[in-house]
Amino acid sequence: MKNIRFLLLSALALTANISASAYNFSATYNGTTIYYNITNSANKTVSVTCKDYYYNSYSGAVTIPKTVTNNSITYTVTAIGETAFYECSNLTSITLPESIISIGYVSFYNCTSLNSIVLPRNVTSIGEGAFANCSKLTSINIPNGVTCIAANTFYCCSSLSSITIPSGVTDIGKEAFYGCSSISSINIPSGITKINERTFTNCYKLEKVVLPSSLSIIGKEAFYGCNNLKTINIPEGVTSIETGAFRGCSSIVSLVLPESITEIKDYAFFGCSSLSSINIPSKITKLEDSVFYNCRSLTQITIPENVTSIGDYAFRGCTSLISITISKGVTSIGNYSFYACSNLTEVISYARKPISLGSDPFGSISEECTLSVPSGSKDAYSEAGWTTSIFKGGIKEFGPSADVNRDGAINVSDVTLLVSLILNGEGTIDYDLNGDGILNVSDITALVNIILGNEE
């Protein structure tokens, strides 16, 4: 899918070029007429530019000189200007002098015959979209002085098979390597704090990514469509995995998510069809819509206690999912959350108060699926829609009963008896209502909360 924003920006740049349609002078070098703009008269520096948008004659092998003389003044060539080689589709190679320090915005955009380029060691700046759509470019170096790889720099360089990002790079822009479908591995240097939107989208051959310890955010659709990605370790310190970050990464088998993560956004792991195991960090409070949709190899999942809601389609189509454990903090399950989990045979809910259900969240699950709920809450669950028509394997209760005196009602008389049992040392673990393995005053508090409706 084409980047509309990028194309619009390119069009604006070209409009500016057309209106100016200007170069200060031209000179022939090694048989090629090269056009220049004076960038600093005092320092006698120039940048390489184009003749105009409609007549750009650069083709074949081009060599840029270190200096050029015009009207008896010798200038140093220090930059490749904006749009200088824009859509020079017959440009096959270019040799740049060591005097070059910057590569301009979309300067080599759509040079579809350019297969290699060596950037001088003094280059410190590479503009947005500089090599976008250079579909035959197989190799390029990034000089050590570069600190930022701008947005769209290597957009759809589909033949680029390897690249080394210097250690000094601290920012990689949006879609910088979008569609670089021949890259197989990449090492992100220390200092990078965010993988921006769609940075590696559709890098189909990418198998291994090394992420730095400095990383905190994996951005929207950062690795979307990297269907050969097998190895990626998410470091401690990452706090956010954004929308669709790993969508369609169908070769990832397992992931260990660090406890530093506080949010996993919608579609984050959508279509990770080989993912068989993953943990949900304890700081997560919501499982967003479609977050694990069609993770067909996922066999088991435990929802941590801080999670309060499970979004629409969150686990839809997880056909290998056998068991799910839902913590007591969950209050709602969205539409079709576990729909078509055809091998789901066990649902365990620790929420004493029945969880609110959206539309058909457990449709098309196994007919053998059982539901286990806290002791004393079976009837309430059934009344709330958690019925045997869904859980055809039956509904059963587990754990200590809040009905301490076994009279069929939970009220103040149960509190009185529990206090007496604890004081007299006669209580058993059957009355460990808070599940901490110890019978004490905290269990009385838990029972009071159950009676008051505060325990969920």
Q: Which of 18-27, 140-149, 221-230, 407-416 has the lowest mean pLDDT?
A: 18-27
Mean pLDDT over 118-137 rounds to: 97
Q: Which pair of tokens denotes residue 281?
A: 């960090």
pLDDT tens digits along 291-344:
999 999 999 999 998 999 999 999 999 999 999 999 989 999 999 999 999 999
> How large is the average pLDDT for residues 159-172?
95
Distance, CA of 75 to CA of 94 (rounded, Å): 20
Confidence of residue 18 (pLDDT cuts 50, 70, 90): very low
What is the token pair recorded at 279?
């943990």
For tokens 């209760």, what's the residue? Answer: 397
Dihedral pair phi/psi, residue 340, rounded to 5°: 65, 25
Share of the chain above pLDDT 70, in %: 92
Q: Six-digit token pair at 156?
A: 């759809």
pLDDT tens column, 174-228:
999 999 999 999 999 999 999 999 999 999 999 999 999 999 999 999 999 999 9
What sign has the CA pseudo-torsion 178, 127, 94, 123?
A: negative
Question: Which pTM was predicted?
Answer: 0.86
pLDDT, tens digit (0-9, with 9 covering 90-100), for 42-86: 999 999 999 886 656 799 999 999 999 999 999 999 999 999 999
From 307, 308, 363, select the one nearest 335 (Cα to Cα).
Answer: 363
Are 44 and 76 a contacting pair, CB within 8 Å? yes
- pLDDT of 242 strictly over 80: yes
Q: Around Cβ 28, how many Cβ atoms within 10 Å?
A: 8
Cβ density class 209-226: b for 16+ within 10 Å, e for less = bebeeebebbbbbbbbbb
